[in-house]
Copies of this chain bind each other. A is one copy, B any other.
Amino acid sequence: MNAFELYNPTKLVFGADKVNQLGELIKPYGKRILLVYGGGSIKKSGLYDDVLFQLNGIGATVRELSGIEPNPRLTTVNKGIDICRTEKIEFVLAVGGGSVLDAAKAIAAGALYDGDVWDFTVHKAIIQEALPIGTVLTLAATGSEMNGNAVISNWETKQKRALGSKHVYPKFSILDPKLTYSVPVDQTVNGIVDIMSHVFEQYFSLTTDIPLQERFAESILLTVIENGEKALADGSDYDARANLLLAGTYALNGTLPNGVTTDWATHGIEHEVSAIYDIAHGAGLAIIFPNWMKHVYKERVGKFVQYAVRVWKIDPAGKNDNEIALAGIEATREYFTRIGAPATLGELGINGEQLERMAEEATQFGSIGTFKQLAKDDIVSILAASL
């Protein structure tokens, strides 16, 4: 086990109708609030009204930034930063899925920074402070509700980059499984893939002697696999939605990487694909991850054997390690296909034209990943296998 630090001060408020605590939760932070959300779905569901009722209840002055894109754009983030400055915003409230939360984090950090918020994503500056943030989550997927990370896209340069800081942990996040009842099937599927992918990035590690972290990761995978199918069969299954929601949070709230060298290469590759083609993150991950697995599993086949046996219950009898590992990878692909995720870039209308460029971008700061360090050629191979 490596040395590590664990720190996560976000307060999670989990349960049906917990949005009724929103006013009380925001109160300590101020009354000038920027409300950030996406399309109109929170208006259709009535959540928008519930949120405004809470904000009015504490006498808040509310400014709004709507229309956050599924891959939130720098231009939109900059709009939010402008509002924060001109309106002397004290608190940023994100209501929506991971992209809304990510945009809110970038806005909250950018509002208190003199330069361009993009600087944080390219290591030109470090976040020193941010406006306080709160969230009402409507989608089980990114884990953004309980961590200090965000991903934003520069649509002009076709770049998708991450920023992170302890200053952008949400002060609180409200998780009501009922708010996810109305999530459409395709977004539920993408969320399932996203959660599982977050686990993969931290589970497939060369770090040894980390039994607890491995079992925690397997716990999340087993929970998501089972409850993902239940939530797809019945979108209003409270416990299935609740289990997905909690699993999504734990997949990326700092529990899994304790003392573990994590990978994150597949996310790096997917970011390049969705930066150019604007596809859903989960769809990209479903396509690429099994191909990453096939490309790297021989680096430590034992880890993939453990994955196959513990997560997919592959019977090892009569198989050698490579066969067991490949059966586990195949089971992953079959599950993704069974729940309706795409298996090839071709299904999304993406051909091989930009493979070189994407691989180039992904490795602009050097090779990526740790389970196997991937150079440009590795990434071209993985993407070519994904066509």
Judge whether A5 and B1 touch: CB under 8 Å.
no
A161 within 8 A of B: no
Stretch at the interface among A207-215, A269-277, A301-309, A361-369: A207-215
Q: A15 touches which one: B4, B9, B18, B220 (CB < 8 A)?
A: B4
A16-49 Cβ-contact flags toward B at 8 Å (1 or 0): 1010000000000000000000000000000000
Q: Is A223 an interface residue (CB 8 A)?
A: yes
A2 interface contact, C-beta 8 A: yes
Report the nearest B residue to A253, measured CB to CB.
B6
Question: Which chain B residue shows the least CB distance to A18?
Answer: B3
B5–A13 contact, CB under 8 A?
Answer: yes
A227 within 8 A of B: yes
**A224, chain B: closest CB distance, angstroms:** 9
Assembly CA distance A11 to B14 (angstroms): 22
Q: Which of B5, B18, B212, B247 contacts A247 (CB 8 A)?
A: B212
| Chain B residues near A212 (CB-CB < 8 A) | 219-220, 223, 243, 246-247, 250
Cβ contact within 8 Å between B258 and A246? yes
Known contacts A7-B11, A11-B7, A223 near B250 by CB under 8 Å: no
Asked whether A14 lies within 8 Å of B243 as measured between CB atoms, the reply is no
- Complex contact A14–B6 (CB within 8 A): yes
- CA A3 – CA B176 in complex, angstroms? 9
Against B, the Cβ 8 Å flags (1 = close, 0 = not) of A282-324 are 0000000000000000000000000000000000000000000
Residues in B neighbouring A239, C-beta threshold 8 A: 1, 208-209
**Cα–Cα, bound, A8→B243 (Å):** 21
B8 touches A8 (CB 8 A): yes
Binary interface encoding of chain A residues 109-151 relative to chain B, with 1 for a CB under 8 A from any of its CBs, else 0 = 0000000000000000000000000000000000000000000
Contacts of A250 in B (CB 8 A): 212
Which of B9, B215, B226, B259 interacts with A219 by CB under 8 Å? B215
**15 interchain pairs (CB within 8 A)?**
A3-B15, A3-B18, A4-B15, A6-B11, A6-B12, A7-B9, A208-B239, A211-B243, A215-B215, A215-B218, A215-B222, A216-B216, A218-B219, A242-B259, A246-B258
**18 further contact pairs, Cβ within 8 A, besides A7-B10, A246-B258:** A1-B243, A1-B246, A2-B15, A3-B16, A4-B12, A7-B11, A14-B259, A208-B239, A209-B243, A211-B223, A211-B226, A212-B246, A215-B215, A215-B218, A215-B219, A218-B219, A246-B259, A255-B255
| A interface, CB within 8 angstroms of B | 1-16, 18, 208-212, 215-216, 218-220, 222-223, 226-227, 239, 242-243, 246-247, 250, 255, 258-259
